[in-house]
Amino acid sequence: MLKKILIANRGEIAVRVIRTCREMGIPTVAVYSNLDRDALHVRMADEAYALGGESAAESYLNTEAILGAIERSGADGVHPGYGFFSENTDFARAITDQGVTFIGPPPEAIEVMGDKISSRIAAEKAGVAGVPGRSEPLTSPDEVVAFGESAGWPLAIKAAFGGGGRGMKVVASADEAAEAMESAAREAQAYFGRPEIYVERYLGWPRHIEMQVLADTHGNTLWLGERDCSAQRRHQKLVEESPAPDFPDEIRQAMGAAAVKVSQACGYYNAGTVEFLFQDGEFYFLEMNTRLQVEHPVTELVTGLDLVAWQIRIASGEELTFGQEDVQRNGHAIEVRINAEDPTGGRFSPSPGTLTKFHTPSGPGVRLDAGYESGDTVSQYYDNLVAKLIVWASDRESARRRMLRALSETQITGISTTIPAHVAILSHADFAEARHSTKWVEDVLDLSNLTSDPVDTSPVAVAVEDDVPLVQRDVTAEVDGRRFAVKLWVPDLGVGGGSRPVARAKRASSGSAAGGTGSGEVAVPMQGTIVKFLVAVGDKVEVGQTICLLEAMKMENAVNAERDGVIKEVRAAAGDSVGAGDIVAVIE
Ligand code: MV4
């Protein structure tokens, strides 16, 4: 068994790997960029080494720096997580050359699957069909036209070295072929550095269903079950679930067998995912992801298997201890990706920043894989996945309701997140009834009225929620004309002086000091309107005496003197709007 594992990654996936290593008794090594010096994955690992730099290229993609950390820590295995070096054969070979185990598949399998034409050919050879198409690079628009005339329009032109859907062009008819081919090749070169493209029939309303596989180095390959990842936007998955809804078991069995064949055809071991498009009861091989995927927890909750633990055992040379018949799938799991993005108007613009508050959900059937805690900062430099929320329940409808419940418990301030979009998706009848496809979020779901969660960055509001003691106020309220006497427990902003509540903890020693060591400047604690001024220039005041009443957050707050003295200046009057920290009077 591997003795010490370095995680060449950051955020939630580094935390995820560290957790399993701890359960297995394997010491962990974190690496970090300058921006991640105090990141959660660094705090959780047994040791941590600086990579230097801020951008991914300078840090988590810096082979020399990572090799240095491997050497200094004495790690004998490296878990690459997803992204970064997870599908980089140069990196895998570089560490293997140093006698260090890459916790992932063989580089040859990564290479075969990295090229979409060669992966199509490998799947075909194994008897698994891709979408009807041509398994060779396009050289002329005539080939596109000829294929369209025989197979039918529309067609999809794709980048051979692409993946994830970028650069795909839909061709509706023969006269669009030449232009679509040109722009597809141009985009392929721009995104992936290779211009090769190929053509397939275009499926108009497919579901994205992928099959998890697990293979050891002793020739055992198992399929663990499918995930439906059809709720996507711009090729970013938003919601993933297992089992796929309305998915007949005979198709599941056939897809599992197909995924095993594709894996075996490329000599695969470790955890992997074979992606399919599913439409009108047929499935078609799309590509294979040769890494642990973001959405792997969905399969973990349904099968009860720890995929990271099995990755580590397989990389250590162990054999799978169970067979295909032993894999049981129970209940239903759903995952949502909580990203630091503002979904207002359906735009999903990046929203990096500090999580002033992260109240996490819990309770029955809830798992949260987060890369951050309250007080941590989401940098603009890296992937903005903050956390994955995964729920399990006995059936899909219970899981859907459980997810909505867990989302309602989750409170994040300081940044905007995709949570409102998830609520919109999960509460939509199309999703509830599984009528969605890969086109649904963008073509059908209307997110234009979405607003972001309140971004609560004001220090006053944060402090109020933190540790300001509460006092009871009796107020009257009218609800539909009926009068109620209401008791409110509100932040004690008035007692002991009118300074800003944010400073309460820090000035605890001076706050209650009688006699007047406090400031002579009377500042209002928050933005609001002066309701009444109770003193005038020349008045004698004592510490604690109310100077004015401020209406803020729909409540009246007393702003009090912090010292004894005489009012020398009055700078505001009833009706004035004031901002937090504004000085309304001076005591001498
Ligand atoms: C397709 C397709 C329709 N027909 N291929 C996009 C991601 C990449 N892995 C393949 N993709 C697609 N390939 C044919 N022949 C539709 C998509 C597609 C898609 C696939 C999976 C998940 C989301 C998607 C969103 C838009 C298009």
- Which regions of 68-148 does DSSP assign to beta strands (E)? 77-79, 101-102
* Interatomic CA distance for residues 192 and 186, integer angstroms: 10
Give pLDDT, residue 475: 87
Gap between the Cα atoms of 213 and 285, Å rounded:
14
Give the pLDDT confidence of 104-138 residue by residue, as tens digits: 999 999 999 999 999 999 999 999 999 999 999 99
Q: How far is the CA of 334 from the centre of ligand 1 (A)?
A: 21
Which residue's alpha carbon is nearest to atom 12 within ligand 1? 165
User: Which atom of ligand 1 is nearest to 287's Cα?
Assistant: 9
pLDDT band at 420 (very low <50, low <70, confident <90, very high): very high
DSSP secondary structure code for residue 26 in this structure:
-
Distance 168 CA to ligand 1 centre (A): 8
Whether 385 has a pLDDT exceeding 50, the answer reads yes
Q: Interior CA angle at 162 toward 56 and 172, to 5°?
A: 140
Does 341 sit in the ligand 1 pocket, CB within 6 Å? no
The mean pLDDT value for 302-317 works out to 98
Q: What is the pLDDT of residues 541-560, one digit of tens each?
A: 999 899 989 887 777 788 99
Sign of the torsion formed by the C-alpha atoms of 249, 250, 251 and 256:
positive
What confidence tens digit (pLDDT) does each residue in 458-515 have? 444 444 445 667 888 888 887 877 788 888 888 776 544 444 443 333 333 333 445 6
The residue whose two tokens read 């937090």 is: 580
DSSP assignments along 394-442, one per residue: SSHHHHHHHHHHHHHH-EEESS--SHHHHHHHHTSHHHHTT---TTHHH
pLDDT tens readout for residues 217-244: 999 999 999 999 999 998 899 999 999 9
pLDDT at res. 511 = 38
pLDDT at 263: 98
| Per-residue pLDDT at 504 | 35
CA angle centred on 19, ends 387 and 374, rounded to 5°: 40
Are residues 165 and 202 in contact, defined by beta-carbon separation less than 8 angstroms?
Answer: no
Rounded to the nearest angstrom, the distance between the alpha carbon of 208 and the centre of ligand 1 is: 8
**Cα angle at 283 between 401 and 109, to 5 degrees?**
100
Can you give the pLDDT at residue 37? 95
For a pLDDT cut of 70, what percent of the chain falls above it? 93
Is the Cα torsion angle 114, 117, 118, 123 positive or negative in sign? positive
pLDDT in tens, 129-166: 999 999 999 999 999 999 999 999 999 999 998 876 67
Task: Say if ligand 1 is within 6 A of residue 235 CB.
Answer: yes
> Position of tokens 């690496």?
31
- Contact 206 CB / ligand 1 (< 6 Å): yes
Ligand 1 centroid to 165 CA: how many Å?
Answer: 6
582 lines ligand 1 (CB under 6 A): no
What is this structure's pTM? 0.80
Average pLDDT, the chain: 91
d(CA 263, CA 551): 67
What does the DSSP 8-state code read for residue 162? -
Q: Which residues pair with 358 in a beta bridge?
A: 412
- How many Å apart are CA 320 and CA 314, to the nearest integer? 8
- C-alpha 189: how far from its chain's center? 29
End-to-end CA distance of the chain: 74
Query: If you average pLDDT over residues 524-530, what whole number do you get?
Result: 86
Determine the atom of ligand 1 nearest the C-alpha atom of 202: 4
Residue minimizing CA distance to atom 6 of ligand 1: 165
The residue behind tokens 């349904």 is 302
> CA-CA distance, 365 to 362, in Å (whole number)?
8
Nearest alpha carbon, ligand 1 atom 5: 202
Any residues with CB less than 8 A from the CB of 527 and at least 6 apart, and which?
A: 460, 552, 577, 578, 579, 580
With beta carbons less than 8 A apart as the criterion, state whether 270 and 105 touch: yes
Question: Is any ligand 1 atom within 6 A of the Cβ of residue 168?
Answer: yes
Does residue 441's CB lie within 6 angstroms of at least one atom of ligand 1?
no
Digit-coded pLDDT (tens) for 152-210: 999 999 999 887 667 799 999 999 999 999 999 998 998 888 999 999 999 999 999 99
The encoded tokens of residue 453 equal: 């969660």
Q: 249-265 and 116-125 are packed helices; what angle lies between their axes, rounded to 10 degrees? A: 110
- Tell me the residue ranges of DSSP E strands in 33-88: 47-50, 77-79
Ligand 1 pocket test: which of 113, 155, 235, 240 has the largest number of ligand atoms within 8 Å of its C-beta?
Answer: 235
What distance in Å separates the CA atoms of residue 369 and residue 54, rounded to the nearest whole number? 24
